Amino acid sequence: MCGIVGIVKRHGKVVRDLINALKKLEYRGYDSAGIAILSDGEIYVTKGVGTIDKVIDPTKDIKDGSVGIGHTRWATHGEVSEENAHPHVSCNREVAVVHNGTLDGFNAIRNQLMNRGHVFSSETDTEVIAHLIEEKLNEIRDPVKAFSRAVYELKGSYAIASIIKGHNLILLARNKSPLVIGIGNGENYCASDVAALLHKTNRFIFLKDGEIALITPDSVDVWSLNDGIMEKVNRRVEIVDWSPQLLDKGNYEYFMLKEIYEQPYILKKLAKSVYYYKRFSDQLLKYSERGGISIVAAGTSYHAGLIGKFLLSKLAGARSEVIIASEFPEWSSHIGKDDVILAISQSGETADVLEAVRIAKSKEAKVLAITNVPGSTLTRLSDENVFIQAGPEVGVAATKTFLAQVAVLHILSSLISQERTLQIKEELLDISDSLESSMRYIDSASRKISSLLMDKEHVFFLGRGINYPTALEGALKLKEISYIHAEGYPAGEYKHGPLALIEENVPSIVLIPIDDKIRKKIIYNIMEICSRGAFAITIQPKDIDVPSDFSLPLDVKSELTSPMLYVVPLQLIAYYTATSLGRNPDKPRNLAKSVTVE
Ligand code: AGP
């Protein structure tokens, strides 16, 4: 995971800008942080354990200069400690590097470097890069050539930014880890994603795997590195239309709450752009007629994928399967050139999803991608892609992007089925209005429900049909931010095992179908758990009588669109349970927003 950033200016200092950019990247990792600045011809490093605010205090005596790099870490190699925090410097302190990714076989390189007299001060894979660049600079004083020779020896995944004593420039390399270049006036930037730089620019160059780059205050040069030979490439500057305000919490205490509250507006936006998805849905139909559709995703996006499978079958009569991305290598022997992979990823950077896509491409399958982040690796690897238009999501727990993914899957299935194209637009507008007008009510009811869960060890989420994945999503939200054990289950499957866990006062949150036939079945399921002492909380259509200890009625009009309504209280229940327990929902322990390791 980790976030990296770099700034090089013709005039002025970089420390405050680096801190601002790094804060926008904290969602990628926040166990330690650091910056390296070139000032008066020397490299100065400030780093430590904790969040950026804790580690770097710009009011204290920190050296400032016109070029610098920064890092926020999510540990992979080496424990969380000051020594292992980035940036890392070479023995002679001539080179500093920050890195996101994991280097393969770095121990062998490290041993060779140590045999040649290099002294290491951390356990990280990253430090070998600094020492390698130092060696290459001793062979050739040209920083770009020395850097490219060092990069050529690296294997694995990396986004690297490096500064070199005596040079007002930043050197970059990318392979399988995200890295973008931001274009300014008299200053240029680099970062792990566009969100870190939106307050500075909306003009970006997206590096590809196997490329290196040199940025100075007035220039950007990019080369591809083929077998160690550098070939200059021209990269187009692309405009990203996300506004920097979207990265501001405003009056909300946490980004997660702000992002939950943005949902009605996202649905409205999607309702107005149904035809943007037409070309993509045509492609999906075309390829699916040749072979099968395999939906590939992780975490929350996987839950959206399950709903997508349901919709493709129900609305478009299309056969599909859903494979958890990290399992794809073992479960994909049947996939070949006639098949289409529908990859769903908010970040477009999830390593498991990208690996699945690379495997699918090696088998000549087509890859269609649904993502949220412009310029993300998935957009580059796929044959076609569409955006869910949710704007940047900062909270580690995916909320508005789940809703947007589900809405987009509705649009795609409706476009394929043709008959529902106008209807889906109306439905999205209707849910948007209904959410907008009932948000305060849902908020306060969810807060009450959270007070019933706070002291519990286990919470179960049950659903049937299209709301079985919604139940999975409710459980994922609760466990990831409140740390209470939660399990989502198809309500009918419950009696095949988990029912043994039900005892006095164990809460089960049950999502009640609007459809009579399915509702009857779930009512039996509620009776089964309540007769064993469970505490049933129902989220349900209004004006319907269901046995429960606490109910939250909502204005649900159709079974198929109900996940878009039901998920909102589930998100708020998780949010209020976490915050009441004093947990930061934007930065849950051990987790990062973009999981760029397999
Ligand atoms: C969601 O709340 C999680 N933080 C996580 O499961 C996430 O959905 C998963 O890592 C996939 O991310 P992606 O959509 O960016 O690929």
- Per-residue pLDDT reduced to its tens digit, 408-433: 999 999 999 877 777 899 999 999 99
Residue 598 has pLDDT above 90, yes or no: no
pLDDT band at 375 (very low <50, low <70, confident <90, very high): confident
Q: Relative to the CA of 396, which ligand 1 atom is closest?
A: 4
pLDDT at residue 76 in the model: 72
Pair (45, 165) in one structural domain: yes
Query: Does residue 425 lie in a domain region?
Result: no
For the segment 324-351, what is each residue's pLDDT rounded down to a tens digit? Answer: 999 999 999 999 999 999 999 999 999 9
Pair (241, 254) in one structural domain: no
Pair (255, 240) in one structural domain: no
pLDDT band at 62 (very low <50, low <70, confident <90, very high): confident
Assign 268 to helix, strand or coil. Answer: helix
Nearest partner of 261 among 391, 371, 348, judged by Cα: 391
Active-site entry in 2, 9, 477, 587:
2
Query: Which residue's CA is the nearest one to ligand 1's atom 4?
Result: 397
pLDDT band at 61 (very low <50, low <70, confident <90, very high): confident
Query: Which residue's CA is the nearest one to ligand 1's atom 6?
Result: 299
Mean pLDDT, residues 41-60 taken together: 89
pLDDT at residue 89 in the model: 97
pLDDT band at 30 (very low <50, low <70, confident <90, very high): confident
Residue 111 has pLDDT above 80, yes or no: yes
Rounded (to 5) percent helix, strand, coil in the chain? 40, 25, 35
Residue 566 has pLDDT above 90, yes or no: yes
Query: Which residue's CA is the nearest one to ligand 1's atom 5?
Result: 299
Pair (388, 257) in one structural domain: yes
Mean pLDDT, residues 559-582 taken together: 97
Does the C-beta of 325 come closer than 6 Å to ligand 1?
Answer: no
Nearest partner of 348 among 379, 394, 326, judged by Cα: 379
Residue 508 has pLDDT above 80, yes or no: yes
- The DSSP code sequence of 5-66 is EEEEESSS--HHHHHHHHHHTGGG--SEEEEEEEETTEEEEEEEES-HHHH--TTSS----S
Pair (322, 382) in one structural domain: yes
Q: Relative to the CA of 588, which ligand 1 atom is closest?
A: 4
For the segment 67-99, what is each residue's pLDDT rounded down to a tens digit? Answer: 999 999 877 777 888 999 999 999 999 999 999
Query: Does residue 352 lie in a domain region?
Result: yes
Single out the residue in 210, 245, 280 at which a domain terminates.
Answer: 245
Show the tokens assigned to 467.
């709301």
Give me the CATH number covering residue 44. Answer: 3.60.20.10
pTM for this entry: 0.85
The helix or strand, by DSSP H or E, that contains position 293, with its residue range, turns out to be strand 293-297
Active site residue 190: no
Does residue 241 contact residue 33 with C-beta atoms inside 8 Å? no
Mean pLDDT, residues 17-38 taken together: 90
CA distance 215 to 198: 18
Rounded to the nearest angstrom, the distance between the alpha carbon of 591 and the centre of ligand 1 is 10
Pair (68, 200) in one structural domain: yes
The overall average pLDDT reported for the chain is: 93
Does residue 463 contact residue 451 with C-beta atoms inside 8 Å? no
Does the C-beta of 1 come closer than 6 Å to ligand 1?
Answer: no
Pair (64, 197) in one structural domain: yes
Give the Å distances, CA to CA, from 513 to 262, 465, 523, 561.
25, 8, 10, 11
Q: How many alpha carbons fall within 13 Å on the CB side of residue 554?
A: 35
Query: Does residue 598 lie in a domain region?
Result: no
Show the tokens assigned to 419.
């008959």
Query: Does residue 526 lie in a domain region?
Result: yes
Query: Does residue 389 lie in a domain region?
Result: yes
Q: Relative to the CA of 593, which ligand 1 atom is closest?
A: 4
Give me the CATH number covering residue 338. Answer: 3.40.50.10490
Q: Which domain holds residue 37?
A: 3-245
Contacts of residue 523, defined as CB under 8 A and 6 or more positions apart, other chains included, come to 546, 547
pLDDT at residue 503 in the model: 83
Into how many domains does the chain fold?
A: 3
Query: Does residue 597 lie in a domain region?
Result: no
pLDDT band at 452 (very low <50, low <70, confident <90, very high): very high
Pair (401, 447) in one structural domain: no
Single out the residue in 220, 245, 270 at which a domain terminates.
Answer: 245
Query: Does residue 595 lie in a domain region?
Result: no
CA distance 404 to 250: 22
Pair (160, 233) in one structural domain: yes
Does the C-beta of 565 come closer than 6 Å to ligand 1?
Answer: no
Rounded to the nearest angstrom, the distance between the alpha carbon of 96 and the centre of ligand 1 is 32
Pair (465, 482) in one structural domain: yes
Nearest partner of 298 among 1, 595, 590, judged by Cα: 595
Pair (336, 234) in one structural domain: no
Single out the residue in 201, 223, 245 at which a domain terminates.
Answer: 245
Mean pLDDT, residues 360-364 taken together: 96
CA distance 82 to 18: 19
Does residue 391 contact residue 230 with C-beta atoms inside 8 Å? no
pLDDT at residue 533 in the model: 85
Does the C-beta of 347 come closer than 6 Å to ligand 1?
Answer: yes
Pair (84, 37) in one structural domain: yes
